[in-house]
Amino acid sequence: MLATEGRILAVEPEPDQLARLLAAKVKAEDAIKQRESEDVERRDLDVVDWGEAKFYIPETRSPIRFLPHQAGVLRYALRRLTPDDSRIRQFPSLAVREGYFPFRTVLWSTPKKRGKSTVAAVVGRYIAETQSRFGEVYHCANDLEQAKERSFKFISDSIRMTPGCVQRGGDWVLPEQWIAQKTRQECLSSGTIIKAVSTDARGEAGGNPDLTIWTELWGFVHIDDIRFWEEMKPVPAKPDSMRWVETYAGFENESTLLYELYELGKAGTQLTAGQLSEATGASLDAFAETKGDPDALVPVWVNEGAGVLMYWDSGLAARRLLPHEDPEIAAAYYREEEQKNTPTEYRRHHLNEWVGAESDFIPMPLWDVCSEPWDAAAETGLPPFLPGDPTKAVLAADAATTGDCFGLLVVTRHPQRHDDIAVRALRKWDPKEEGGIIDYWGPESFIRTLCKGGCALGHFQGDGWRLDEEGAEKLMKPICEACRHKELVPPYKIVQLAYDSFQLVDMMQRLRREQVVWAEPVDQGKERSQADRALYDLIVNRQLAHDGNLELREHIQNSKARLQRDEDSKLRIVKKAPQRKIDLVVCLSMAAFRCKYLLL
């Protein structure tokens, strides 16, 4: 261009320059057409075929092999709708989604260790690599660690195991295809980013996701969890934007978000083996229990109005062996799990059934078989634990003033089986027997006697009023004849006093200050949950022995287990009813946990 007297004159390009411009334009247009053609080819890739060609798993260090039912459900969820699609014939409202994925939400629920996180990882990488351009995929969980350690990690593992992948610093790079970092993965061929996020990741709210993968939705119970779920909903401007939920069953009346989604799925139509086969090409016996009957129902539901596909596999039939599993090893695993878990945990984890958050703490027959009463004639069972015994012991205290008891309980390592725990002595103070309120002087004096010695009735000799009438009358306490006559006993070797700090801080500080005993509180949050779970395992595995004490047995009967929502491997011992006493069980939990921890 030239400017002359206010006018702009166009300058014709030289012929060779024009040729270069035209060539560049043609090249750009060809590149765009090629990219569009590649996008069409990528979008038409079958999720199962793609996964079995490209998604490596650590169990075999080779690409995944789907079970027939997994392949069928995956194709039903992720095969784009066509004009003559059987899914449209069965669910006419899906016609508006022709050319797109049929559902906005997929709920995939199976028992624990049945491959649901791996399937979700395949879906996440498939969407990022083949179904999006410069898109966003999020792996969402209650906390960042959980988000990183499930399907997100499985994607990283699959990339790292792919031939040609190399490590560069802290990153793993599959040239021209992927960069995998700790909380972020980038598909170089599509430009799509995959992130691991937690429900407190406020910066991700308002994103533009192509896919969100939700891990263990049963644990999303807080207000912030629900808000995050709502904020990360599928994007209307992206017709294929969807949620993928992988979880096992939750707790009735607590896992409300998951339960509402479950009910939404159940409100839909349950598919038959024939309908699944017609839509996906799956064999009629992809779900083995159908035995090839096309009219047999399969555990897949479609709620077309809500845009929900739900695959909810439960019961013994849901324990479908993965291709790399050994049947005998799998059977042994379930036998072990049934022994280790509470019945409620076992049903939820390994049968994928909804349960209440509370159940009996322990079946009483399991408690009773741990009884080893002393038989003096045969010299079998737990021998008497007499004052002066040199065995290292842990004492535990759980206190109340009016409503509950004040309990003390002593444990040691088992005299014959050092890895086991033995209950050696216990005592409780009941407010009903103490005039309606417990005087802490009694338990404190008894603790001092155990640790420093005292009279045969458990009175610490520092209480000098016990020795004369004047002191006894002044404090309105009875005279102890054992103290008067110096009928004294030596102390036990108490190495630690574990206690619930509620209402006991003053007493324990005094005992520490006077160097009576090493008194250490047990955190009533995480540590107490770990202790309660450990006690359950000790009883189930018969690694705890007791002498059949009826008071302790009654407190066991009064106890129930509340499973922890945030960490379902833990449980909390609670009362079956407000008037039931469980103080001795709480003492046993704390004492056994500390005895194991101290490696006595």
- Which residue's structure tokens are 């998604």? 55
> 515 or 15: whose pLDDT is higher?
515
- Report H helices in 256-308: 256-266, 273-280
pLDDT digits 0-9 by tens, 361-376: 888 888 999 999 998 8
Average the pLDDT over 254-265 and give the result. Answer: 94
Angle between helices 151-161 and 116-130 (to 10 degrees): 60
CA torsion angle 428 432 433 434 (round to 10): 90
Q: What is the mean pLDDT of residues 487-514?
A: 88
pLDDT of residue 296: 95
Average pLDDT estimate for 196-220: 83
Q: What is the pLDDT of residue 465?
A: 41
C-alpha span between 29 and 41 (Å, rounded): 18
Tokens linked to 223: 């207000």
Based on C-alpha coordinates, what's the Rg of the chain? 34
Q: Is the pLDDT of residue 572 over 60?
A: yes
pLDDT at 567 over 60: no
Token pair, residue 240, equals 């294929």
In sequence order, what DSSP letters do the residues of 400-458 get, joined into one string? Answer: -SSSS-EEEEEEEE-SS-TTSEEEEEEEEE-GGGGTTS--THHHHHHHHHHHH-EETTS
Residue type present at position 389: D
pLDDT of residue 539: 93
* AA letter at 596: K
Which of helix, strand or coil describes residue 573? Answer: strand
If pLDDT is split at 50, 70 and 90, which confidence band does 194 have? very high
Give pLDDT, residue 437. 76
Q: Could you give the C-alpha distances from 40 to 100, 132, 133, 381, in angstroms and in order? A: 12, 11, 12, 76
- Given pLDDT bands bounded at 50, 70 and 90, which one contains residue 268? very high
| Burial profile 304-317: b = 16 or more Cβ within 10 angstroms, e = fewer | bebbbbbbbbbeee
Instruction: Quickly state the pLDDT bin for 401 (edges 50, 70, 90).
Output: low
Strands 488-489 and 454-455: antiparallel
- Give tens-digit pLDDT for 305-330: 999 999 999 999 999 988 888 899 99
pLDDT band at 289 (very low <50, low <70, confident <90, very high): very high
> What's the topology of domain 364-453+490-597?
Nucleotidyltransferase; domain 5 (3.30.420)
Distance of alpha carbon 344 from alpha carbon 95, whole angstroms: 43
Give the pLDDT band (50/70/90) at residue 71: very high
Is the confidence at residue 469, as pLDDT, over 60? no
Q: Which helix (H) or strand (E) holds 584?
A: helix 583-597
At 138-189, the pLDDT tens digits run 999 988 888 888 899 999 999 999 999 999 988 999 999 999 998 899 999 9
- Highest mean pLDDT range out of 26-30, 41-45, 114-118? 114-118
pLDDT at 231 over 70: yes
pLDDT for position 265: 95
Residue with more model confidence, 500 or 3: 500
Q: Identify the CATH assignment for 44-328 out of 3.40.50, 3.40.1350, 1.10.150, 1.10.1870.
A: 3.40.50
Q: Which residue has the tokens 């009346």?
A: 253
Average pLDDT, the chain: 87
Mean pLDDT value across residues 196-225: 84
Residue 6 confidence (pLDDT)? 57
Backbone angles phi, psi at 459, to 5 degrees: -105, 125
Which amino acid makes up residue 234?
P
Residue with tokens 């056994």: 592
Across 579-583, average pLDDT: 87
CB 445 within 8 A of CB 477: no
Instruction: Please give the residue that has the higher pLDDT: either 348 or 30.
Output: 348
- DSSP H or E segment with residue 383: none
Predicted confidence at residue 462, as pLDDT, reads: 57
